[in-house]
Structure 1
Amino acid sequence: MTVSALTRPGERDRLIVKLANIDWTFALLLSIIAGIGGVMLYSIAGGEWWPWAAPHLIRYAGCLVLMIILAMVDLRVWFALAYPVYAVGVLLLAAVDVVGHSALGAQRWLDLGPIRIQPSEIIKIGLVLALARFYHTLSGRNARLSWWLLIPAALIGLPAALVAKQPDLGTALLIAATGGVMMILAGLSLRLVAIGLAGVVAVVPLAFMFVLKSYQKARLLTFLDPEADKSGSGYHIMQSKIALGSGGLLGKGFGLGTQSQLNFLPEKQTDFIFASLAEEFGFVGSVAVLLLYMAVIFMALRIASVSHSHFGRMAASGVTATFALCLMINGAMVMGLAPVVGVPMPLLSWGGTVMITVMVGFGLVQSVRVHRYSEVTSGRGALL
């Protein structure tokens, strides 16, 4: 009779070693942030666990288990799955254009029976894996400046264009920015980066006139002058600023935020949850949460730095870049420093697909830590 591998002493010992190598402090920080999100969702629902707080916490518990399971997965498996995951993500994005579900003026979801998925979240992980695998096999010289750079440019441009077509400009910009950061981390010539940024600035007026939709133009104009239409296109930003400012140093107190409790603040459970937090817990509470986020980013980058494989370093850095960019975009948005683009605050905001994406990404980061001494080969024996 054969014995299951999980019951073999050697395999058990190996599993225990892997569990011991997980960064549990990192997992605790993520749990604290998600817990704060649950508390805020409870508050803005008027002291009710439903419809947001309880599902948020239950979902996080499941995602935490998923992260731990994914941390056990060998980096060579992640490497082998990199291009397939990217390809599936692109195919799902293409499917959205044909049979996608429309809501709030956008076609971004796929209905799969009892569940609804947002492929733009899947492609975030797929792109990080694909770029990490590509740069794993590319020399430093070619990563700096060569015709090989057309391949990562295409890997980034295709999903970004498909997401922008939905339309979801915020996520499209996030995908493009993540890809750009990974190219720079891989060694892209800073001279080429400067030329690219200059080109982007040059085409912005043309994009504004001929590419952006009317509501997207309105968002940009509102960002420049939100007071021009306080009750219309500028309503979101104005109410968010009121919530931020009225919180003062220590906030109004838990459950006492008038902007959220009286429903003046739009999308209070998703895009503008940080404004709700600032109103109830003030400047001190906001800074405390931001420090938690900074600690997560620092620890993830430290994990990336100790990996012995270039694939591991690039993959962990890419996940961290995506997380940090989400944080920066949402923070700038609620403070009126960036247009409203619909990017949620990771782990704090309500949203199932976004949370799963974040935790799968951090499962990859934890896998990089657990297997930091593993060497990843690019040949057929990668899984052997």
Structure 2
Amino acid sequence: MGMIDLSRMLRPYPVRAPASGISRRRSLWERLHLDPWLLGMLLLLLAAGLVVLYSASGQRIETVIAQGIRFGVALSVMFVLAQLSPATLLRWALPVYVLGVLLLVAVELVGDVGMGAQRWLVIPGVIRFQPSEMMKLAVPLMVAAYLSRQELPPRLRDIAVCVGLIAVPVVLIAKQPDLGTSLLVTSAAVFVVLLAGLSWRFITALTAIAAAALPLMWMNLHNYQRQRVLTFLDPNSDPLGSGWNIIQSTTAIGSGGVFGKGWLQGTQSQLEFLPERHTDFIVAVLGEEFGLVGIVAILLLYLLIISRGLWLATGAQDTFGRLLAGSIILTFFIYVFVNVGMVSGILPVVGVPLPLVSFGGTSSVTLMAGFGILMAIHAHRRLLPR
């Protein structure tokens, strides 16, 4: 009594082995360690993203081709990670986490600056990437690895260790500054802790501590981050400045009506009133051109992907697999919720892209890597005897 065990959401179901003397031929998908339903829905989402991106980028085919290449890389990473066993992931949790922290330190020292933020590392002539993106997987991977070796539900000491594991990379990411990514990394790791099972006492205490820390967090925000919060509360306070983005976004969505103006026919996007239309505000382009029907369709596809992901997560039959798989799919939900919320004006703008639709390479690779890990956990589940 008095306990909340969110791990029940992912309680493993029995996977029956075939009867003695009968060998079941494995399908192609099983041999490849891929889930055809999840893969099919992801490919459909990627295709829809390219269609919307073509319009959002000002009908620049080179942008669509570049994104298509990035999707190809992301799918390749997903396939490779799907072949790994949970035991391999568990062994690599600490090295990947340490490498990620070292890369974040490198960003702080020699990182490339773009749009007023120091978030990228550049290998001349090879690649330019954001190390903070890999921490969306590395941090929950490390926290899940640690908790899987402890007695659950976690004790106060275990929670303190988890807070330390989360705080180090999150502080480094927040200093870049990148509030959106730091919140996503925190969410991914917190989901692991919650799924491990917590008492109401701990949840209440942590909530109280977080609430008490709000004034301190506010004082440490950058000026533009504070302005985003104030703009969220009253966009019309600076309609030609900080409120411009959200006003144009909600105008575009509202003007689309039920069925939209038609593909490539949006005025706010095509006439470039809508800023960041191919990245953070791509939902506004979707709403203007395809209307309420288009937004509902894409949200339904996201819902199906999340539902399938949760179903696959229930197949994990060890603590590490359940915690990590649950965190991956719930974090994907947070991506969708935060992006749609900020574009529609119900959340502050924090720079979170619409997953697998917004333009971006590192983010797409990270998301597909997560789905690869999810498929790996499901594919390597143990067979239980009858």
TM over 0.5: yes
Which residue of structure 2 lines up, in the alignment, with residue 204 of structure 1?
Answer: 214
1:368 lines up with 2:368 in the alignment: no
Which residue of structure 1 lines up, in the alignment, with residue 142 of structure 2?
Answer: 130
Shift of 1:321: 2.1
Which residue of structure 2 lines up, in the alignment, with residue 5 of structure 1?
Answer: none
Which residue of structure 2 lines up, in the alignment, with residue 108 of structure 1?
Answer: 119
What pairs up with 1:235-250 in 2 under 5 angstroms? 235-250=244-259
Structure 1 residue corresponding to 2:77, chosen from 55, 62, 66: 66
Which residue of structure 2 lines up, in the alignment, with residue 289 of structure 1?
Answer: 298
Which residue of structure 2 lines up, in the alignment, with residue 9 of structure 1?
Answer: none
Name the TM-score, length of structure 1 as normaliser: 0.90
Gaps of 5+ in 2: 1-24
Shift of 1:257: 0.9
Aligned-partner Cα distance in 2 for 1:342–1:280: 22
Q: What is the one-letter code of the residue matched to 2:94?
A: Y
Structure 2 residue corresponding to 1:351, chosen from 333, 347, 360: 360
Q: What is the one-letter code of the residue matched to 2:110?
A: V
Q: What is the one-letter code of the residue matched to 2:349?
A: V
Shift of 1:283: 0.6
Structure 1 pair 19/69, CA: closer, same or farther in 2 (3 Å)? farther
Structure 1 pair 212/373, CA: closer, same or farther in 2 (3 Å)? same
Aligned-partner Cα distance in 1 for 2:86–2:206: 33
| CA displacement 1:282-323 (0-9 Å, x = unmatched) | 111101101111111111111111111111111111211221
Q: Which has the higher relative contact order, 1 or 2, with Cα contacts under 8 A spaced 6 or more apart?
A: 2
Structure 1 residue corresponding to 2:61, chosen from 45, 49, 74: 49
Structure 2 residue corresponding to 1:340, chosen from 349, 352, 361: 349
Which residue of structure 1 lines up, in the alignment, with residue 235 of structure 2?
Answer: 226
Name the TM-score, length of structure 2 as normaliser: 0.89
Which residue of structure 1 lines up, in the alignment, with residue 190 of structure 2?
Answer: 180
Q: Is residue 57–residue 277 contact of structure 2 (8 Å, CA) maintained in 1?
A: no
CA RMSD across the alignment: 1.7
1:98 lines up with 2:109 in the alignment: yes
* Larger helix fraction of residues: 1
Aligned-partner Cα distance in 2 for 1:201–1:229: 28
Aligned-partner Cα distance in 2 for 1:140–1:66: 32
Gaps of 5+ in 1: 1-12, 376-384
Q: Is residue 237–residue 243 contact of structure 2 (8 Å, CA) maintained in 1?
A: yes
Which residue of structure 1 lines up, in the alignment, with residue 226 of structure 2?
Answer: 217
Aligned-partner Cα distance in 2 for 1:20–1:56: 25
Q: What is the one-letter code of the residue matched to 1:348?
A: V
Q: Is residue 308–residue 374 contact of structure 1 (8 Å, CA) maintained in 2?
A: no
Q: Is residue 33–residue 82 contact of structure 2 (8 Å, CA) maintained in 1?
A: no
What pairs up with 1:323-338 in 2 under 5 angstroms? 323-338=332-347
Q: Is residue 272–residue 334 contact of structure 1 (8 Å, CA) maintained in 2?
A: yes
Q: Is residue 18–residue 72 contact of structure 1 (8 Å, CA) maintained in 2?
A: no
| CA displacement 1:133-179 (0-9 Å, x = unmatched) | 112111114x1x32121111111111111111111111111211222
Shift of 1:20: 5.6
Q: What is the one-letter code of the residue matched to 2:137?
A: I
Q: What is the one-letter code of the residue matched to 2:197?
A: G
Structure 2 residue corresponding to 1:322, chosen from 327, 331, 339: 331
1:36 lines up with 2:48 in the alignment: yes
